[in-house]
Chain A
Amino acid sequence: MRFIRKTRYMQDINLIKHSGHLFWYSLLLIALFISPFGMDRFLLGEFSLVFVYAIAGLGLMLLVGYTGLVSLGHAAFLAIGAYTHAYLLHQGIPFFVSLTVASFFSGILGGLIGIPALRMMGIYLAVATLAFSIIVEQVLVHWVSVTGGFQGMSVPKPIVGGHDLSSPYAFYFLCLVILVICIFLTMNLLRSPAGRAMTAVRDSETSAESMGIDLAKTKTLAFALSAALTGLAGALFAHRLTYLAPDAFTIITSIQLLLMVVVGGLGSLHGVIYGAFFIGFFPQVIAIFRDFAPPGIAQIPGLEPAIFGLVLIFFLIYEPLGIYGRWIKIRLYFEEFPLYRKATYKRQKSFLRTERLH
């Protein structure tokens, strides 16, 4: 078990809390930068997809896991990012400029959506965001001059300074670098006042307001940042799809994104990564399962969404803290072996209004 002696307040403020952190995260980064050279094209592609999901996951985690606002319409921001980026590339706008603009544009729309959403909670907000994504889908279908309608539109290759980044290697590194930057910026946000305001709003709106936090501003900001990150992911996702059509961004995609943050673990950035791996690789696992399962089961249509749904329900009931929560418990078990108390993470009985009338 590690006892960390804290001698300076900066240790709590810094992102790297101790030498162990530095060592393991450096090792992980090195591994991520070396390993592509041993991977085949297919696996490289899968990893890039996981990175893209993780960027979108960061956005959704900010909103759902840190601000406590639910969205069933994040596929819309993915679509807005993807279409804006593809459209701008067709106009000859340089790659990184287009990527930034796509992300900003999605962020601004997210902020605007946030305004009517300010008065809504829980299920109402879920329905409102769902409605928004349906509107966006309709716009994609009907605004033919820009989006190509049902026919869709092609996505130009990602070309930076004359180099084509569409090869699996280049795209892997592109996504990895952008993901690392996004994680870094999100961590900064979370350790500063704006991020703390979000977690305050999540835990108690009344008391957040009484502590001087502007609810409207905080929620709008959460929506905007969330949409900006998801839009950025959408722009990268466009290159993976190579051809955009409205049916790539449906409610199923929104649910997948939500599944990622719930299964990964709400309120944790580690959870985003675990969740991204989960939704990135789980379809492969199901595909392998189909190969081995008896034909009666393997041929069931819609097996994938069904299993996704089951997993979501399983996590909500048995492991609300997600994969990250499970990992913390396993780690604690080994650190404290043989002293681990089974009840360590049992929630303490909370104090209900009715229990204390005076």
Chain B
Amino acid sequence: MSFLAAQDISIHFGGVKAVQDLSFSVEQGEVFSIVGPNGAGKTTIFNLISRIYDTTKGSIYFKGQDITRLATNQVAQLGIARTFQNIELFENETVLNNLLIGCHVHRQTNLFEEIFFLSRVRQQELQFRHSVEDIIDLLDLQSYRHQLISNLPYGVRKMVEIARALSIKPSLLLLDEPSSGLNPEETEDLSFWLEDINEELGITIIMVEHDMKLVAQSSDRVLAVADGQFITMGKPSEVQSHPDVLRAYLG
């Protein structure tokens, strides 16, 4: 069984068929990219996997478990973390608190212990802090630790969002256009970090990405979609030169 498998998934919004009978599977340890023109349904695929939208038809399996009907927060607890195309950080909190919220899925204490801040809670906070600091070090966010998100430049916010997703300690990471809005230098850094996340932390990555250079550099396999439908899947170079893909982009 594949790490993540989507079988014939579809979703309709009124008359719009955002995703239609799409099937694909991602293997453990892969960097898997989804490409396609605007409005192709890429973000919608992520919203289906992370259970923000209900699939109209089809099923999604994660590590063999059917996750098609789980609640959004349960998906996170299984170890699927994500970022958003339009950045959805907790704006009025510090970078540190944003990352600590990612530790929520590992919470062992109950409300009573927390209100009295018993030593178990203190230990847990310390442990959360250590694991968050590892991520801060990995992504070089040390100097932003205590800053509010609303005071951060765009590029840093993007990295904080990835860091927050990592603090779940996921086994599958969904990145929605990680390089959009970044300058070439930041995109360069991003490609190294993606490698670190994938190889050092052993996290499987699915990313939606428009920057073909980044896609070619980082991905093992690429899925191309247009109008919610499967076009082709394969090695980056194959997909990039596929005639149907070129046609979809040129319209």
Contacts and interface: CB of A to CB of B under 8 A. Distances in A.
Binding partners A and B: yes
Interface residues on chain A, size class: 35 or more
Contacts of B130: 9
Nearest to B80: A210
A211 interface: yes
A208 interface: yes
B73 A13 contact: no
A210 to B, nearest CB: 6
Nearest to B108: A193
Contacts of A215: 73
Given A191-B117, A199-B90, A13 B101 contact: no
B109 A211 contact: no
A203 B77 contact: no
Contacts of A351: 86-87, 154, 181
Most buried by B among A13, A267, A350, A353: A13
A194 B114 contact: yes
Contact of A199 (B82, B84, B97, B109): B97
B96 A12 contact: yes
Interface string B69-104: 001111111000110101111111100110011111
Contacts of B150: 347-348, 350
Contact of A194 (B111, B126, B153): B111
A204 B154 contact: no
B221 interface: no
B72 A192 contact: no
B115 A189 contact: yes
A195 B97 CA distance: 11
Given A267-B92, A351-B181, A358-B180, 20 more contacts: A185-B115, A191-B125, A192-B114, A193-B114, A197-B104, A199-B92, A203-B91, A208-B90, A209-B72, A210-B82, A210-B88, A211-B81, A211-B105, A212-B73, A213-B104, A221-B111, A348-B150, A350-B150, A356-B181, A357-B38
Interface of A: 9-10, 12-13, 185, 188-189, 191-197, 199-200, 202-204, 206-215, 221, 267, 347-348, 350-351, 353, 356-358
Interface of B: 38, 50, 52, 71-77, 81-82, 84, 86-93, 96-97, 100-105, 107, 109, 111, 114-117, 121-122, 124-126, 129-130, 133, 150-151, 153-154, 164, 168, 177, 180-181, 210
